[in-house]
């Protein structure tokens, strides 16, 4: 089935960076909760639980259905070894791979940011 939800990689302005930069922020104006993601990666994969079908039961007997949750994954671009114009994912022997991702959570009074 096509169009079950999202599974997209978003390009982040600035590409790979030495220090983490803000790549996403979510705010709930009702509760005042917020989440920020900072990363050194050039992309952010957004996945919306497209194949959750109601057969997974979680805490408190909650049934997880399609699009009941999201995953946000800082990363390089999918299939990058086959696209010379993409940032490289090649790691030569003796080299070190380093990436930093920070998930920051906060809460403010409802309606205040």
Q: What is the 3-state secondary structure (H, E, C) of the chain?
A: CCCCCCEEEEECCCCCCCCCEEEEEEECCCCCEEEEEEECCCEEEEECCCCCEEEEECHHHCEEECCCCCEEEEECCCCHHHCCCCCCCCCCCCCCCCCCEEEEEEECCCCCC
Q: Is residue 11 part of a domain?
A: yes
Q: Is residue 49 part of a domain?
A: yes
Cα of 66 vs its chain's centroid, Å: 18
**Per-residue pLDDT at 52:** 85
Q: Which residues constitute the domain of residue 49?
A: 7-84+98-107
Number of domains in the chain: 1
Q: Is residue 89 part of a domain?
A: no
The predicted model gives 23-29 an average pLDDT of 94
Q: Which two tokens stand for residue 46?
A: 């957004």
Q: Is residue 38 part of a domain?
A: yes
pLDDT digits (tens, 9 = 90+) for 45-94: 999 988 888 898 999 999 998 888 899 999 999 999 999 999 999 999 99
Q: Up-side HSE of residue 58: CA atoms within 13 Å toward CB?
A: 9
């Amino acid at each position: 089935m096509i169009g079950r939800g999202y599974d997209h990689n978003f390009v982040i302005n600035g590409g790979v960076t030495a220090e983490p930069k803000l790549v996403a922020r979510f705010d709930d104006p009702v509760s005042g909760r917020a989440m920020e993601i900072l990363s050194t990666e050039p992309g952010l994969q957004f996945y919306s639980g497209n194949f959750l079908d109601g057969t997974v039961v979680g805490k408190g007997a909650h049934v997880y259905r399609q699009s009941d949750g999201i995953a946000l994954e800082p990363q390089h671009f999918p299939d990058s070894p086959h696209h010379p114009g993409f940032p490289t994912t090649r790691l030569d022997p003796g080299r070190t791979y380093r990436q930093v991702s920070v998930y920051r959570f906060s809460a403010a009074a409802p309606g205040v940011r």
